[in-house]
């Protein structure tokens, strides 16, 4: 019985070795390798061979939807190309100085779920209908009632964060940023993108109510206008998930929200009726400013998730407080 087991084990190991030996192989005498990805990326000496990694992984995200793109590794002696597809892996070996195998794997991320036509088109149509309907009925909208969405949005956000973290399965709320919950190819991608889309709708409704009540109360509408950057940021993050090249373009939007906190304090502090809200706005601005700690060690390197949550905590407090004080005051 033991003999049969050892024979099977030996056969398995031989098959593994045989499979590795039959991987596509090119040669090199230099550890520096050039990489080209289609027409969108080229890095001369962009890859350094490391034989200790088995395999050394080169990950490829997406920009626009694609079915295939050509990836080429070029050494000082040879080159190899693959026509890669989304959500796939391609293994090969670069033989360094005729004796040291360097195992390379090209790993492509899948296209973001909400960029796929079967989801993106209905979502875009639905969102367009929502905005058109909102604009058409703007004179009939009850701005005070729309403010109540300012309670629902933060609650849904924090619920989404913890549920998505659980679905993700390998997530640390102190170290990992929110975008990682919806990163392309993760277990929590679909849930997070869906939740962000719903959140965006709630935040738009709140911002519309915020704007309307600000006009009625003769308050500066600038904080309300800047609050619209939050739903835009959420829609963007849900569509162009982490791993997509467009994801980082919406990075500056949260700073507009932070600027809105400061303007709320500056514009409302002289109004006795809203002095408490202006003070809360200043406190929220101070809390959100802690995001600057990301430029200091160890915060920005080990606890970026915690730093980012200071901003969302400030946003949650300010949104709930704004909904409370504006809805309460309009009843007087």
Dump the DSSP string for 196-238.
HHHHHHHHHHHHHHHHHHHHHTT--SHHHHHHTHHHHHHHHHH
**Helix/strand/coil for 3:** helix
- CA angle centred on 77, ends 75 and 80, rounded to 5°: 55
Q: Distance between CA atoms of 290 and 115, rounded to whole angstroms?
A: 33
Q: Tokens for 25?
A: 């192989």
Position 295 confidence tier, pLDDT thresholds 50, 70, 90: low
- pLDDT for residue 188 is more than 50: yes
Burial of 217 (0-12, 13-18, 19+ CB in 10 A): middle
Q: Tokens for 203?
A: 């935040």
Q: Distance between CA atoms of 57 and 104, rounded to whole angstroms?
A: 6
Check whether the bond before 139 is cis (ω within 30° of 0).
Answer: no
Alpha helices in the chain (DSSP H): 2-21, 117-136, 143-146, 149-168, 189-216, 222-227, 229-239, 253-268, 275-288, 299-302, 304-329
Residue 284 has a pLDDT of: 95
Least confident of 183-192, 259-268, 287-296: 287-296
Q: Distance between CA atoms of 70 and 40, rounded to whole angstroms?
A: 10
Position 103 confidence tier, pLDDT thresholds 50, 70, 90: very high
Residue 18 has a pLDDT of: 39
Q: For residues 293 and 120, which has the higher predicted lDDT (pLDDT)?
A: 120
């Amino acid at each position: 019985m033991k003999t049969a087991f050892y024979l099977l084990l030996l056969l398995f190991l031989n098959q593994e070795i045989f499979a590795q030996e039959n991987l596509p192989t090119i040669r090199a005498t230099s550890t520096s390798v050039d990489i080209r990805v289609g027409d969108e990326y080229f890095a001369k000496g962009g890859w350094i061979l490391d034989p200790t990694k088995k395999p050394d992984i080169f990950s490829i995200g997406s920009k626009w939807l694609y079915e295939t793109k050509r990836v080429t590794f070029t050494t000082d002696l040879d080159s190899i190309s693959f026509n890669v597809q989304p959500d796939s892996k391609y293994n090969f070996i670069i033989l360094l100085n005729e004796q040291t195998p360097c195992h390379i794997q090209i790993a492509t991320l899948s296209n973001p779920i909400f960029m796929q036509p079967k989801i993106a088109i209905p979502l875009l149509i639905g969102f367009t209908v929502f905005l058109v309907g909102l604009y058409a009925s703007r004179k009939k909208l009850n701005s005070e009632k729309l403010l109540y969405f300012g309670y629902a949005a933060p609650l849904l956000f924090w619920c989404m964060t913890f549920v998505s973290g659980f679905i993700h399965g390998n997530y640390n709320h102190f170290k990992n940023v929110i975008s990682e919950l919806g990163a392309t190819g993760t277990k929590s991608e679909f849930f997070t993108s869906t939740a962000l889309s719903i959140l965006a709708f709630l935040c738009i409704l709140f911002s519309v109510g915020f704007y309307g009540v600000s006009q009625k109360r003769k308050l500066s509408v600038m904080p309300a206008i800047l609050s619209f950057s939050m739903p835009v940021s959420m829609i963007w993050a849900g569509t162009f998930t982490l791993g997509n090249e467009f994801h980082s373009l919406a990075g500056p939007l949260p700073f507009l929200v932070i600027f809105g906190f400061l303007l709320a304090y500056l514009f409302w502090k002289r109004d006795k009726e809203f002095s408490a809200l202006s003070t809360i706005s200043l406190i929220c601005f101070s809390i959100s400013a802690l995001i600057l700690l990301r430029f200091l060690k160890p915060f920005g390197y080990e606890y970026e998730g915690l730093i980012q949550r200071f901003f969302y905590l400030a946003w949650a407090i300010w949104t709930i407080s704004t909904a409370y004080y504006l809805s309460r005051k309009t009843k007087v």
